[in-house]
Structure 1
Amino acid sequence: MSDLKRIRKEFTECKKDLETSGLDVSMPDESNLLHWKATIKGPVGTPYEGGIFRIDIQLPSDYPFVPPKMKYETRIWHPNISSESGAICLDILKNEWSPALTIRTALLSLQALMSAPEPDDPQDAVVASQYKKNTAEFSSTAKYWTETYASGSNEDDAIRKLVEMGFEVDVCKRALKQFGGDENKALDSLLAGLA
């Protein structure tokens, strides 16, 4: 059984330093401590700079003795992250996990991986090949994907649309956060609240 006290503490710790770490976490369903959503700011000086990347986190029932399951919901062009499924190739999310590690540690490791890809241990062979053979083309493609999929403007557009429908800005932000940025689910929730 999961250590719920530890999970709550980890969640609180993750929320503390958003400004310095560039990490943010939320729970789409406050009654389910085992499902988190996170965002990572693209590291400065990388093709991911300026992007906001959403991560889905599932904590197994035997956490922290088993690593969390994480995947990118935001599409990203990176050798160690599947451009199709968002699956991540990172040793601490597999055989190098230790109960001494935390979700925050794992998220910081993902941020570090974005700064320093490991093309010799790829999740996405096509991206890894491009990274090794033509770094400039890789950087250009990664930057394009960041601008296309991780610009953050999608959330701003969604908030604007929901506000135009008559909902308050803060309520819209909460609904979008609760549903991981899914505009349709957020709208359904907001409309259900009116009934």
Structure 2
Amino acid sequence: MQFDIRRFASLVSWVISPVVVAPAVYLFVVLIGYREEPRHYEWLTVLFLAATIAPMFLIYGLKKIGKVSDYNISFREQRFLPLFVLVGLNLIGYELMKQLDSPRFLSGILFFNAVNTVVILLVTLQWKISIHLFSLTSSIALLVLFFGPQFLGLLVFMPLLMWSRIHLRAHNFMQTLVGGIIGFLMMYLEFKWWLTL
């Protein structure tokens, strides 16, 4: 059986995608870091709804009515509306987390998801940054901040995902590299500030 390199690149792109990586990190942080807290399932539910489930339904709906051409929203011009709605969804989630007296770390995830989506939205007006890479490295930054520097090793997946997105012609090298670097640095520096307030 012949190895299909494009299919492998597509598999990598889906496995290390925002809809897989981010919820996996949320699950890990909440169930390991806050499992003794009586409301941890409520916090996890809000995280999943605001940052994963609602966005998935949004993109599915936009694809269904023809507002986006594919689930990865490959065309830069089609990204403004879904990104704008995602900002609102994350801010609603942030407010819900505050009402549920969540730890500052968890509410910060949704707050900075909103902030960082605004940054991506503004960049998208002129350039196409890789949201896949941004999501991967910002998620790794959360693990490093919460559990420690041993999770820096997960950055080995960054070159693999870069290759995948480039091979699929979804992005060029600079779009993936900048997405990865900015994703990690922004989330890391934002939380360093957020957790000292």
TM-score per shorter chain, which class?
under 0.3
Please state which structure has a larger fraction of its residues in strand.
Answer: 1
TM-score, length basis structure 1: 0.25
Which of 1 and 2 has greater Rg? 1
TM-score, length basis structure 2: 0.25
